[in-house]
Amino acid sequence: MTDSPTPAAALPNWAALDSAPTLLAGNTLAGRDLLRLLDLAPAELHLVLSTAVAQKSAWKTNALQEVAQAPYKDKAVGIIMEKPSLRTRISFEIGTQRLGAHPAVMSDTSSAFSRGESVKDTVQVLERFVDAIVLRTFEQSKLEEVSQWASVPVINALSDDFHPCQGLADVLTMYEHKGDLSKLKVAYVGDGNNMAHTYLEAAALIGFELHIATPAGYEPNERIINECSAAAAEHATGAKITVDGDVSAALAGANVVITDTWTSMGDEGQAQKRQQAFASFTIDAAAMAKAAPDAIFMHCLPAHRGEEVTDEVMDSAQSAIYDEAENRLHAQKALMALVLAPTA
Ligand code: CP
Ligand code: NVA
């Protein structure tokens, strides 16, 4: 399934994610894919986050009622993991189940794509059984090919280029801790990887200030930076994006400090070289002291304690890492509720 963002009439209010969305009225996401955050218009990102806030609150208030009213008891979601996962796999599995739908999880060697069957055949068989496909894979082009053959929504559960579901959870976490998303300065210090690309896309849609500091040679993909600058201009969000090697400038006054592993899945052969290149990019207490005094620290996890971040930061009062991990479930459950909804 291919799709494109629905243009927003006006910029959303990023200080308020407390509207009470329904799965029908104003839902332009029914039947849609999420291969990257730029598949969404700003208003659609706001809708996903508002739905997550409402569903999270309802679950915490009355889980039994939420179970009884689960909307998708006739549906199933295929969850395919071609790379290892703890958080993404478990949060999609539990989130699907909480919507009343059946999660069909396929991983590693038992994965749908591990026997050489064509993507077309695999997808067109799979969609006879499931109402959405969630895929963690390597190349973004694989997700695009799956989307091309699928008539059901396709959700990117991490690729080499993007991790949009983590991005949804992360901006939800920033909102819960710091309020108005459009007013934030976010510092990302580390590898110009799938997470850096995802924060670039979030900044473009929301309009927060993003300063990415990477070692030379590990910058985000230039094409993606340009696509994000174009999206920020198209939506007139006012996003201020900086990419350079200046860690101190990135951290100065930041409300949110983020890092990620120096060696992503698939890059393990470069681990030693990367440890040398990133040696001065560790987030420790001295680095956090350069940010705003009430800054939060975030990391999508898994973290390599002692490399990109120290124990004292991970375990500090400023650390929001476990809230961030929990929000994977709420953000993805909201996304699935919206894309699985009946199309008008
Ligand atoms: N953050 C994240 O995606 O974690 P997993 O790799 O454990 O799914
Ligand atoms: N950049 C990391 C994120 C893991 C959730 C990776 O791709 O391995």
Q: 174-227 pLDDT, tens per residue?
A: 999 999 999 999 999 999 999 999 999 999 999 999 999 999 999 999 999 999
User: What percentage of the chain has pLDDT greater than the value 70?
Assistant: 95
Angle of helix 321-339 relative to helix 42-61, nearest 10 degrees, comes to: 110
Rounded distance, CA 22 to CA 327, Å?
20
Which pLDDT score, from 0 to 100, does residue 9 have? 52
Residues contacting ligand 1 via CB (< 6 Å): 85-88, 158, 166, 300-302
Rounded distance, CA 8 to CA 24, Å?
18
Catalytic residue, chosen from 36, 98, 136, 177, is 136
Decide whether any atom of ligand 2 lies within 6 Å of the 195 Cβ: yes
pLDDT at 70 over 60: yes
Q: Of ligand 2's atoms, which has the minimum distance to the CA of residue 263?
A: 8
Q: Of ligand 1's atoms, which has the minimum distance to the CA of residue 83?
A: 6
Rounded-to-10 torsion of CA 200, 202, 207, 211: -40
Burial class (CB in 10 A: 0-12, 13-18, 19+), 212: buried
- Spell out a b/e string for 299-326, using b for 16 or more CB atoms within 10 Å of the CB, else e: bbbebeeebbbbeebbeeebbbbeebbb
pLDDT at 24 over 50: yes
Q: With cut-offs at 50, 70 and 90, classify the pLDDT of residue 8.
A: very low
Nearest to residue 21, comparing CAs of 33, 29, 10, 32? Answer: 29
Instruction: Let me know if 36 is a catalytic residue.
Output: no
- Spell out a b/e string for 47-57, using b for 16 or more CB atoms within 10 Å of the CB, else e: bbbbbbbbbbe
Please give the average per-residue pLDDT across 91-97, as a whole number: 98
Decide whether any atom of ligand 2 lies within 6 Å of the 261 Cβ: yes
Q: Of ligand 1's atoms, which has the minimum distance to the CA of residue 90?
A: 8
What is the 307 CA–ligand 2 centroid distance (Å)?
15
Q: Which residue has the tokens 């100065």?
A: 252
